[in-house]
Amino acid sequence: MILASGVVPVVPEIPGLAEAGFESNETVMDMKDLPKSMVVIGGGPEGMEFSQMFHRLGVKVTVLQRRDRVLPQEDVEVSQALETILREEGIDIQTKAVPTSVDGIGRGRFAVNAEVAGSSKRFECGRILVAAGRRPHHIGDLDLDAAGVEADPEEGVTIDQTLQTTAPDVWAMGDVIGRMQYTHFAVYTAGIAVDNALTSVGRTFDTSRIPGAVFTDPEVASVGLTEQEAVATGRRVRVGRQLFRRVGRAIAVGETKGFVKLVVDADSDELLGMHIVSHMGADLLPQAMVMLHTSKRTINPLVEALVTHPTLSEGVKAAATNLKPREGVATPAGDMAG
């Protein structure tokens, strides 16, 4: 048996929210009309993508994000840069904002009350979108204990490196294992789970080389360790950046916002991660993906390779040639946003 039950939206327990009604990623595209204003609860990938989409459709959007920055899973400079870009575009982003209750105020309007950085604030809107993440589906009602399958309702099914669960004849794949909620990750784990369930090959999965993308404009794309994660492992790191306003192709097509950032082990030149804010940023990840699938994962081929001009990929090569020892002082987010 292979468990592949997916995920469902997380709905925070906020007094008045259920009574007021709300949209989720599963329902929001079924709306028949556009509200004049919308409060988006959550500053992760879904929150950012939908916030920008509705803003560009003419909706006044306010984002309430519990953490101190949007896209908290991304490199700090990346999330700060995108936050700057979206704010400059006109989206109201409130960080350290914890919704406390929702009130109906008549005529199809609502008020979301929240504690924002220690102060009480009230945000009126015509529609509420809950984009607070997703959790594994059916974990609580599949009676997995009876089959000997361990699972946590929030974290997902317990698996080993072959995707086998704690039961000998049960495997799991995709979102239900609670790792990376990407379609390409689900496809990747599906192949491994099927092979291991039907044969004795014993394939293992590796999350260190799984790319991710947030399809805002500009896009956010990443693979490997963030600078903060690399430093937390005790490594000495070098960081290379290139602003796209200094890349010829970006200038030519009028898409100069953002940057590419490489994180490299200072002692071995091993590529640890690449992080991008850019037009078509996800399409630039394969340059790093190839390096991460070599035995040494060295940065040298990115430095030495001849790159076609004019292309956005010249930004990746430039970042590799700009590698410098990390001095612990972040570049201002506004400058990185471009």
**φ, ψ dihedrals at 307, nearest 5°:** -110, 140
Cβ-proximal residues to 239 (8 Å cutoff; 6+ apart), any chain:
227, 261, 262, 263, 264, 323, 324, 326
Distance between CA 239 and CA 200 in Å, rounded? 42
Catalytic residue, from 137, 184, 293, 309: name it.
309
Closest CA to 108 of 19, 20, 40: 20
Query: What is the Cβ-side half-sphere exposure of residue 137, based on CA atoms within 13 angstroms?
Result: 11
Distance between CA 53 and CA 28 in Å, rounded? 12
Distance between CA 132 and CA 9 in Å, rounded? 7
Collapsed DSSP state (helix, strand, coil) of residue 264: strand
Distance between CA 130 and CA 9 in Å, rounded? 8
Collapsed DSSP state (helix, strand, coil) of residue 158: coil
What tokens appear for 239 in the block?
Answer: 């960081």
Cα dist from 190 to 59, 160, 175, 206, whole Å: 39, 14, 11, 13
Is 309 an annotated catalytic residue? yes
The residues annotated as belonging to the active site are: 309
